Amino acid sequence: MSAEPRLYIDADLAENAEIALEKDQAHYLKNVMRLGHGATLKLFNGRDGEWRAAIDHVSKSRVDIAVMDRLRPQVAEPDLWLLFAPIKGKRIDAIAEKAGELGASEIRPVLTERTVVARVNTERLQANAREAAEQCERLTLPAVHDPVKLTDIVAAWPSDRSLLYADERANAAPIAQALAGKAPGGRWAVLIGPEGGFSPEEQTLVRGLAQAVPVSLGPRLLRADTAAFAALSVWQAHLGDWRDGDG
């Protein structure tokens, strides 16, 4: 891991741009990392690639940076949503963090019949995904959405997006077998159920989608967070940017 801090910022990035950092990021550089004038860092904004910048000015209340040179151009990243039924405690934070590292482009909590979590702190999920994106060197930030009902998202499912449906009970094809022969890239989503599993009605509903690809993740019943990491990883290895020449 690089010792140079790496930050996501909203501002446009271009040579010689001067940027005043947000309060939290200024505090992080100044008080946590204890960096001063001249120290360098890396920046990305999801649009302009990755840039090196240097701290230009530090005062009590702000840190200004000057953008120097571009280190990497922006490249297209996989279009892979993660749909998951929210789970309790720290494991939901881990889902946002690992989905960020595993290259999910969007994180979408879905409310199912057996979802037991009533409230989802999307701001906290976004903070976890952002921190993961910063440390793992990706060039984009996954978008975190507010929870929606599974029935609503299925009713409006985009015709051009395949749905990799982790189906632990029915006779689904093993995931590697289901993905073999599919064209790399494309628009995809992974769907993971709650700890109590999908109801029979939900299984029928999802399987009824023409875009659904029901898959098994093996003979063991995985916890929802483990299932999410496994499905994202296998998708990346077969169709995403873990393939030879993409990484």
Binding site for ligand SAM (CB under 6 A): 166-169, 192-193, 195-198, 216-218, 220-224, 227
Instruction: In angstroms, give the least distance from the CB of 166 to ligand SAM.
Output: 3
Q: Which is nearer to ligand SAM, 86 or 142 (CB)?
A: 86
Q: How far is the CB of 224 from ligand SAM (least distance, A)?
A: 4
Least spacing, CB of residue 124 vs ligand SAM, in Å: 22
Which residue number, 67 or 192, has a Cβ lying nearer to ligand SAM? 192
What are 176's two structure tokens? 């590697």
CB of 11 to ligand SAM, least distance (A): 39
Closer by beta carbon to ligand SAM, 42 or else 161: 161
Q: What is the distance, to the nearest Å, from the Cα of residue 107 to the centroid of all Cα atoms in its chain?
A: 6
What is the DSSP secondary-structure string of 137-199? Answer: T-SS--EEPPPEEHHHHHHT--TT-EEEEE-SSS-PEEHHHHHTTSPSSSEEEEEE--TT---
C-alpha distances in Å from residue 187, one per residue of 80, 81, 145: 6, 8, 17
Name the minimum Å distance from CB 184 to ligand SAM: 22
Asked if 239 and 194 count as a contact pair (C-beta separation under 8 A), the reply is no
Query: Measuring CA to CA, which residue among 63, 36, 50, 49 is closest to residue 6?
Result: 50
Is the Cα dihedral 126, 213, 201, 196 positive or negative?
A: negative
CB of 16 to ligand SAM, least distance (A): 49
Distance in angstroms (rounded) separating the CA atoms of residues 39 and 55:
6
By beta-carbon proximity to ligand SAM, the closer residue of 75 and 170 is: 170
Cβ proximity to ligand SAM, 97 vs 167, nearer residue: 167
Amino acid identity at 98: K
What is the smallest separation between the CB atom of 215 and ligand SAM, expressed in angstroms?
Answer: 6
By beta-carbon distance, which residue lies closest to ligand SAM?
193
Per-residue burial over 210-225, b if 16 or more Cβ lie within 10 Å, else e, is ebbbbbbbeeeebebb
Whole-number Å distance between alpha carbons of 88 and 192: 15
CB 113 within 8 A of CB 199: yes
If the CB atoms of residues 75 and 221 are measured against ligand SAM, the closer one turns out to be 221
Q: Which is nearer to ligand SAM, 51 or 198 (CB)?
A: 198
